[in-house]
Each structure stands twice: as C-alpha cells, then as structure tokens.
Structure 1
Amino acid sequence: MAMETHWNGDKIVELLLKCGKNAIGHREKLGFELKEDGSLVTDIDRQNEVFLKQNLETDDCCFIGEETIRDCNEAIVRKTLQGRCWIVDPIDGTAPYAHGFLTWGISIGYLENYRHKHGAVILPDSGEILATRNDQVIYARIPSLDIPVSDIDWTVLAPPPDAWSPGGMIMLGQRYTRYGRVPLPNPVLSSGSAVQALASVICNKAQAYIGHMKIWDVAGILPMMERLGILAILDNGTPMTCNVLGGAFDLDPKSKEFWGLADTVRIARPKALETLNEIMPVEKT
C-alpha cells in the first residue's frame, strides 16, 4: 500500500490487526462500565486507544480518540482539525463486543486541513479489513489476525449497485432503533456498530443506513464512501462529506452533542437514497 503524507497503509493495517487480536484475546474475562452518557466502555477500549495514540501521534500530527476526547476544548479542536490529525474509535460497538456479540469493529481515520483523507477499519470476528489506497477502496477477508500484512490478498472494491431493492437490508443505528420507525417492507438490522453497518453498505451486504453517530464512528469510513460514490444526507438537508466544517457535525465543545451529527443521517448510493426518501419521506419536526 502506498504512502501519502502521514498515511502508511501497511502500518495502519498492522495496528488494526494488533488491536483486534488484543480485543479478542481479552474478551472472555471482560467487564464494562457505564459512561456519563450511558454508553459502555471497557478496559480494552482504553488499552487500544493508548496503543494507537503511542503509535500514531507525533509533534505535527494530532490524535483524537473516543475515550480521551472529553479533554478537548475549543482551541484544541480547531488546532487539531486544521492540521494533520488521527481520529480513532478503539472499539466501535462496545456494547455488542462486551456482551459477546460479533458486530463490532475498530476504525482509524486520517484528516488533513479539515478533510477526511484516508481511513481503514477492521471487523475482527469476521476477519474483514477495508482501507483506502490512493483513490481506491481495498478489501480483504483474512484467515487469522496473525497474518503478515505482506501476505494479505487485497481486492479493489467497485461502487455498490445504485438501484433500490425492496428486499435489501437497511442498517439502523442504536438511537434510531429506540426512537425512529421504518414503515418499509425491507428487512432491518441494528448491529450496534456504525463501522460494521457502514462496512456492510460499502460491501453491498446492506443497501442503506439510517442513524446517528459521532465523528470517530465514521472517520475511517467516510473517505471510502466518497471514493465509492455513497451519499450521506442528514434529515435537515445537510450533506455529511469529508469536509469536517460542512455543518454535519456539532463542533461546539459546550454542546451536549459535541462531535455528534446535527441530525439523523441516511446513507446509500444516489438513486437508492432518492428512492428511500420517496417511499419514506423525512419526518419534519
């Protein structure tokens, strides 16, 4: 995998493999705590984040992680995003992970000058890895997390189909599952992990996603979506793009939704998204 600026694809994949192995290796004796917002956190979330910070953060490349982001004030936020920055989610889907389910992942995103440039994610239990490489998105399903990066057999992904399928799977976020509704005949699935759900859209296992997320949930995936022509539009009409300052995310440190989306987002290929909005119009509030 080629290197561009601070993005070294082989190194990033190696870090993901190590984090995945650490998470699986400690899962049997795992406990969890509740954070202030009611979400779960484990010692593995913290361990993986410390490990990633030690291996990614440099004097000229900042680091944002889900478990340490509360320490950021507005000045730090602006300084971080306008330069070079890593945004990681050490365990995306901590709830399913902590309870022994397989729908969780790990995400690393690279930003430069307010733009998501590159990303990579791993779904350790299924052995699936997705990453950007130059202008491409590459995919592999590995037999073991011990595999050397040089032995991974990568496939270049094509954009998923654009047509809407009445039988296509729709992935739902946790918040939307609790408070939203889907008056469609389509099957739906709430996996508890944005990384796993959006990877399913990218790999054409699911045709759409509806939900809410924080910036670290999608930082590794957004550069892939852009390369594959997958759109994301908030219910208030704002597009979620690789431009962090585009208005999709709440960047006010005083806000309860700090780092979160300003509204529910719908994600799919253009024609599929258009059809979804026709048969399930956005509810105006």
Structure 2
Amino acid sequence: MNDFWQTVLTFSQTLTEKIGTSLLRDFGKVKATQKSDGSLVTKADRWADEEIRRAIAETFPEHGVLSEETIHILPENDWCWVIDPIDGTTNFTHGLPIWGISLGLLYKGTPVFGAVRFPKINQFFHGYWYGNSGLQGPTGAFLNGEPIHTSSEEPGGGRLFNLCARSTAIAANPFPCKFRLLGVATYNTLLVACGAALGGVEATPKIWDIAAVWAIVQGAGGVWVALEPEPVFPLQPGEHYGSRPFPSLVASRSELVPIFKPLVQCIAK
C-alpha cells in the first residue's frame, strides 16, 4: 500500500508543478466569464481541467473523476479524484498571487488524501486522513515537504480567523479573533492546517473546494464541522454535486468548536 501512496504523492507533486508552470504564463492576463452559478471561469481553468483529467486517466485508469468544470456526478468507482483546476479564479485573473490547483482523492466517497499547490507563492500542501476507511499508509500533513500542525493557541485579539466573501456578516458582531479574507477557499482552510489561523468558515463551498483540504486539515490535527445537519461525507455515487454547497467551520482543535460554532452558525440558515 505504501507504494500506492508514493505513486499518488509523486503524481500530485509532478502534475501540479507542470500545470502551475503553464498557468503562470496566463496569470493576470486572461479574462473570465461568469458561469450559471455566479462563479468565474477562464480558458486557463478549462485547459488545466482537461490536462489533469487526461493525466489521471493515464496513471490511474481505474479511478473516477469529479471536476468543477466538467464532471459533477460522482461515479461508482471506489477511488475518485476531485479536481479544482484553479481555486481562486478571481485572484488569478486580477493578478493576485494567491490561487491554487487542488486535487483530492476519495475512497468510497470520503477524502483520504489531498494536495494543493499555489504556484505563484511556491507552496505545496499535502496530507492524509483515513478516518474509518480501514486504509493504512503515511499520516500527517505537510507544506513543501515539512510537517505542519494546527495551532494550540487560545483565541484572542492577536489570533486570526478566516472568512469567505459570503460570511462577512459575522464580522458585525463581537468575535474573539481578527478576521482575514483572502478569496480562496482552500487557502483559507490551509492557513488553519499550518497554524497561522485558529479557524475559518466557508458559507457556500462546493465539493472541489473541500475534498483536498478535508484530508490535509485533519491530518494536521484540525477538525472539520458541517454547519448543516447532514454530514459532508461520504458522497453518494450517482448524486449530482455541481450546485450543492457544504457550509463548514474549520477549527485548529476540537476545544474551539463550542466557541466558534455559535458565532458562525448563522451562515447556514
């Protein structure tokens, strides 16, 4: 099994580096169009999506694919990659350096591995979280090959909590941390994984915003809390996930959930 995980990691590192190098040529130079759900897409998103799907089909022909740009119905395959070719398209088109390429690997509908590369700032995150899957292999979470861990600090005026564009109403009320909003769902979450922030909230993330970082955050010691009654995972084969949001809270450790959750639960209503 360890050979399999090494293949998965090497594939993710090599592919995201290749795609990222090519995307840098279009960074800040392409125009976006609006999709039916209000999100943006560019020719660069579509190109990267096609290249990633082709590479998966060649390297893991028995694996399925779920992708923001093309495939929204979960296939029957036990193993399935979830792709976001450019997370942060708005940043990408406006020349802002925080945007990434996200790859999550599901086993029977639940993420067990994630990899996200941010080419412009030269950061590659990856991590493993097997939960109740029965799988074994490497553990933990990493940034550029070095282990990362969530923070053990207490909330306070000098600590950070990340918001998304649709959760800014939270800032109108007293909160025990300073807010940051960076415009990229995966990066907001990964700042919790590497200890820079104590928590974060996403009001309307889609499955491609979540799949990779779900594994990385928990591999780093963090917790993921669904803000709706139904759990996020496992996903169900045959279900359409193109328009379904998954309001979520991420915290650096379980003790902070009772502090943060009442303050952010309103975004799921």
TM-score, structure 2 length as denominator? Answer: 0.83
1:63 alignment partner AA: V
- 2:243 aligned partner: 257
% of aligned pairs identical?
Answer: 23
- 1:146 aligned partner: none
1:234 positional shift = 2.6
1:167 positional shift = 2.4
Please state whether the residue corresponding to 1:116 is helix, strand or coil: strand
- 1:275 aligned partner: 259
C-alpha contact 1:7 1:110 (8 A) present in aligned 2: no
CA deviation map 1:96-125 (0-9, x unaligned): 111111221111111111221111111112
1:252 positional shift = 4.6
2:197 alignment partner AA: A
CA deviation map 1:190-220 (0-9, x unaligned): 2111111111111111111112311111211
1:162 positional shift = 5.3
For residues 11-22 of structure 1, the aligned pairs below 5 Å read: 11-22=11-22
1:89 positional shift = 0.5
1:244 aligns with 2:234: yes
Task: Provide the C-alpha distance between the structure 2 equivalents of 1:207 and 1:62, rounded to a whole number of angstroms.
Answer: 34
1:29 aligns with 2:29: yes
C-alpha contact 1:174 1:192 (8 A) present in aligned 2: yes
1:165 positional shift = 3.0
- 1:207 aligned partner: 198
1:61 alignment partner AA: H
C-alpha contact 1:7 1:118 (8 A) present in aligned 2: no
1:267 positional shift = 0.9
C-alpha contact 1:96 1:104 (8 A) present in aligned 2: yes
Q: Which runs of 5+ in 2 are unaligned?
A: 129-137
For residues 1-285 of structure 1, the aligned pairs below 5 Å read: 3-4=3-4, 7-57=7-57, 58-70=60-72, 72=73, 77-80=74-77, 83-132=78-127, 134-140=138-144, 154-161=145-152, 163-177=154-168, 180-183=170-173, 184=175, 186-212=177-203, 213-238=205-230, 240=232, 243-245=233-235, 252-253=239-240, 257-258=243-244, 260-261=245-246, 264-268=247-251, 269-277=253-261, 280=263, 282-283=265-266, 285=269
Please state whether the residue corresponding to 2:120 is helix, strand or coil: coil
Deviating 4+ runs (over 4 angstroms): 179-182, 237-240
Cα root mean square deviation, aligned: 2.5
Please state whether the residue corresponding to 1:130 is helix, strand or coil: strand
Q: Which runs of 5+ in 1 are unaligned?
A: 141-153
CA deviation map 1:127-158 (0-9, x unaligned): 11111261121211xxxxxxxxxxxxx21223
C-alpha contact 1:46 1:67 (8 A) present in aligned 2: yes
Please state whether the residue corresponding to 1:188 is helix, strand or coil: strand
C-alpha contact 1:65 1:88 (8 A) present in aligned 2: yes
C-alpha contact 2:185 2:209 (8 A) present in aligned 1: yes
CA deviation map 1:46-96 (0-9, x unaligned): 1111111111124311111110025x3xxxx2514xx11111100001111
C-alpha contact 2:29 2:93 (8 A) present in aligned 1: no
Task: Provide the C-alpha distance between the structure 1 equivalents of 2:249 and 2:64, rounded to a whole number of angstroms.
Answer: 30
Please state whether the residue corresponding to 1:125 is helix, strand or coil: helix
Please state whether the residue corresponding to 2:212 is helix, strand or coil: coil
Please state whether the residue corresponding to 2:52 is helix, strand or coil: helix
1:239 positional shift = 5.0
1:174 positional shift = 2.2
CA deviation map 1:19-64 (0-9, x unaligned): 1111111124311111111211011111111111111124311111
TM-score, structure 1 length as denominator? Answer: 0.79
C-alpha contact 1:22 1:44 (8 A) present in aligned 2: no
Please state whether the residue corresponding to 1:166 is helix, strand or coil: coil
